[in-house]
Chain A
Amino acid sequence: MQKLKISTQVVGSRKDIIKIKVSGFLDAHTVPEMEEVVQSLMKKGLYKMIVDLEELSYISSAGLGVFMSVIGDIRDNRGDIILIRMPPKIFKVFDLLGFTEIFTMLNQEEEAIMAFNKN
């Protein structure tokens, strides 16, 4: 049974950006784990998130819901969710739903850090 693995890491020179590496299955069963990680970061006032999706093998509509549900609050607090290294399969899901228009998607971590630092 494939599960979800989440690891977080502080990145960037100002130490205010969190990289969340997600691997495995992000579906209705594993969504609560992802929600918890994101919510706890927000509680600590950390709103700049880079989500590395390189090792994510499956995302369901519920999985997409996690990002959708917090993006508003995150942006209201001058933060953002930047999705990086998205596998084509995952990209297709985001694109199908039109979420590529909502989220910033970049290839590398450095680009994401630069994007945060620019603002």
Chain B
Amino acid sequence: MKALPLIHLLRKSLKYKLCALTLVLINLIMLLVGITVTTQERKALLRQMQTRGISITRNLAENTSTFLLNDDDLSLNNLVSYLRNDPVIEYALVVDTRQIIRAHTDINQLKRVYQLPEGLSLEEGEVLRFKLYESSDGRRHYHVMSPILFSNQRLGTVHVGFSQDYITAVVNEARNQILKVTLIMLALGTVGAYGLALLIVKPINQLAADAEILGKGDLDKKIVPITQDEIGRLAETLDITRTKLKAAQETLVIKERLDRELQIAQQIQQALFPKTIPSLPNLEIATLYRAAAEVGGDFYDFFWVNSKELGMVIADVAGKGIPGSLVMTMVKSILRTSATQVSGGELEGVTGPANHPVTIMVKTNRIIYPDMKKGMFITANYGILNTETLTFTFVSAGHNDTLVYNSKTGKLKRYNPKGMALGVDPGPIFEKLIKSFQIQLTPGDLLLQYTDGVNEAMDTQRVLFGNERLYRTLQKYGGKSAAEFLNSLDREIKVFTRGHVQSDDITAIVLKVL
């Protein structure tokens, strides 16, 4: 349980990871060095001891021969006593051929019969030999013996004992020394490794902190590289990412705002569509409006011109988006205002009743022309339905045909009185061209007015829905109610376009005489 926080720390922090790794590495190196050094030291000491032991023993044998010959025990002991101070030498003694100890580092042993130390056994004929043996207390010793010769006649033997304790002590000393150095290295290494790790990790930590700030969404804090290395480059890249992200976010914010505004525009525009469609006893009125992705420029409108006459507008502004939508709003208001003004007043150069569709269109064109952007125009149908007589008088300002299908007779008729798009000409040409037409509606008639979003709906191959398909649809579903017919038409268009992006508003209005 206690190790857990450490593991956790190691796992979480690059600094500690690096530090631990360095320390492990230092320890491993020191361990290896220690083992090698102590082994070598031990071997060297042993070799040294052997050489020294042999030379001491041999020297002793050579120097004692005359003393032994002359039975000069004093000089013998004198010589041996010099060896007493040597820490390596455990004992040194001289025995004569009768195995009587004649000289010994331990004076108490003099005159005794020499017996080999416990644990040591010598084979017959062994002369100068460095031999390892273990005493009963488990200590290890070396024993060297050398014959004392005088003119090839053996006078005795020199025995010298060395203690391995000394070597062990020296080796231990060396090991302790190495351990001390290791500990110092470890202490220094820890500090060093920590410092190094800190040095290496600092820019990484800085970068991690910066990235965290970035991750939290603060795109304004500049990421400054503090090194020139890979980390520095990473910081630079991150800063470039930050600036790009910031730019992208700004664009996104602008786009979102525009989208929202566009959405509002769309809502406003849709709110301008009549909320209720007039209901009449002998007539059905239905509408279809399917907006393209953008804010569209299509609209339709219904309003009472007087108690008997119903005004009907369908229009298409060339140009979609906000400009198209703005123009649409303007045209719709002007048309409705002009058409429903009781005292419209006579228009200069225009004859006929003040509320006649031609007069209304001329008036609308004159009003809107100065405000139109170049290249923008509106096509529109404006018709007045007399709900008592069922006459429909209408004008077409460059708009599509008005189609009338009678389910009783099966006849399909197309009408399109001459005219010109609104907003193109200041007056003269428009007013010269525009004509009205009057249709007498009879029971079973289905009158359809539509915008080019209907007949120019495209499939994925850019094939148009087309007039022929529209006529066929009318013939097929014209016997149904106004609303059912428009549902069928909408379905036919959807089936035809097979999900291809709708690029234009689809708008249609239907009058059905019951």
Is A102 a contact of B320 with CB atoms below 8 Å?
Answer: no
Asked if B420 and A60 make an inter-chain contact with CB atoms under 8 angstroms apart, the answer reads no
Which of A69, A70, A73, A96 touches B398 (beta carbons < 8 Å)? A96
Interface size counted on chain A using CB atoms at 8 A:
24
A68 touches B377 (CB 8 A): yes
Contact indicator B420/A62 (Cβ below 8 Å): no
Stretch touching chain A among B403-411, B423-431, B490-498: B423-431
Do residues B318 and A70 form an inter-chain contact, with CB atoms below 8 A? Answer: no
In the complex, which residues of chain B have a beta carbon less than 8 angstroms from the beta carbon of A97?
Answer: 377, 379, 398, 420-421, 424
Beta-carbon nearest neighbor of B399 in chain A: A96
Question: Which residue on A lies nearest to B420, using beta carbons?
Answer: A98
Residues of B within 8 A of A58 (CB): 462, 464
How many A-B residue pairs lie within 8 Å, measured between CB atoms?
Answer: 74
A91 vs B399: C-alpha distance in the bound complex, in angstroms?
15
Minimal Cβ-Cβ distance residue in A for B377? A68
User: Is B352 part of the binding interface, using a Cβ–Cβ cutoff of 8 Å?
Assistant: no
A29 proximal to B (CB < 8 A):
yes
| A65→B399 CA distance, assembly (Å) | 15
Q: Is A64 an interface residue (CB 8 A)?
A: yes
Residues of chain A within 8 A of B318, CB atoms compared: 61-62, 64-65
Q: Does A66 contact B425, Cβ atoms closer than 8 Å?
A: no
Task: Give the B interface residue count (CB, 8 A).
Answer: 31
Judge if B139 is at the interface, Cβ distance under 8 Å. Answer: no
Q: Is the CB of B462 within 8 A of A66?
A: no
Interface residues of A (CB under 8 A from B): 1-2, 25, 27-29, 58, 60-62, 64-66, 68-70, 72-73, 96-99, 101-102
| CB neighbours of A96 from chain B (8 A) | 379, 398-400, 416
Contact call B429/A72, Cβ cutoff below 8 A: no
Least CB distance from B24 to A in Å reads 67
A99 touches B379 (CB 8 A): no
Instruction: Give min CB distance, A60 to chain B, whole Å.
Output: 7
B421 touches A101 (CB 8 A): no
Report if B189 contacts A (CB, 8 A).
no
**Which residue of A has the minimal Cβ distance to B375?**
A69
CB neighbours (8 Å) of B225 from chain A are none
Give the Cβ gap from B91 to chain A, nearest Cβ, in Å.
113
Given contacts A61-B318, A70-B374, A72-B374, contact A102 B398 (CB under 8 A): no
- Whether A65 and B319, one on each chain, are in contact in the complex, defined by CB atoms closer than 8 angstroms, is yes
**Once bound together, how far apart are the Cα atoms of A28 and B292, in whole Å?**
13
Neighbouring A residues of B136 by C-beta, 8 Å: none
Output the least CB separation between A96 and chain B (Å). Answer: 6
- Shortest beta-carbon contacts, A-B, top 4: A69-B375, A98-B420, A97-B398, A61-B318
Residue ID in chain A nearest B421 by CB atoms? A97
- Give the residues in chain B near A61, CB-CB below 8 Å: 316, 318, 377, 379, 452
- The distance from the CB of B344 to the nearest CB of chain A, in whole angstroms, is 24
Contact of B456 with A98 in the complex, beta carbons under 8 Å: no
In the complex, besides A65-B376, A69-B373, A69-B375, 4 extra interface pairs with C-beta distance below 8 angstroms are A2-B462, A65-B318, A68-B377, A99-B420
Chain B proximity of A111: nearest CB distance (Å): 23
Q: How far is the CA of A73 from the CA of B377 in the complex (A)?
A: 17
B419 at the A interface (CB under 8 A):
yes
Q: Give every chain A residue within 8 A of B503 (Cβ-Cβ).
A: 27-29
Given contacts A1-B462, A60-B456, A96-B398, contact A69 B374 (CB under 8 A): yes
Q: Is B181 on the interface with A (CB-CB < 8 A)? A: no
B316, B374, B416, B464: the one within 8 Å of A68 (CB): B374
A contact residues around B253 at 8 Å (CB): none
Residues 167-180 of chain B: 1 if any A CB is under 8 Å from the residue's CB, otherwise 0? 00000000000000
State which of B320, B429, B464 has its C-beta within 8 Å of the C-beta of A98.
B429
Given contacts A61-B379, A98-B433, A101-B433, contact A68 B424 (CB under 8 A): yes
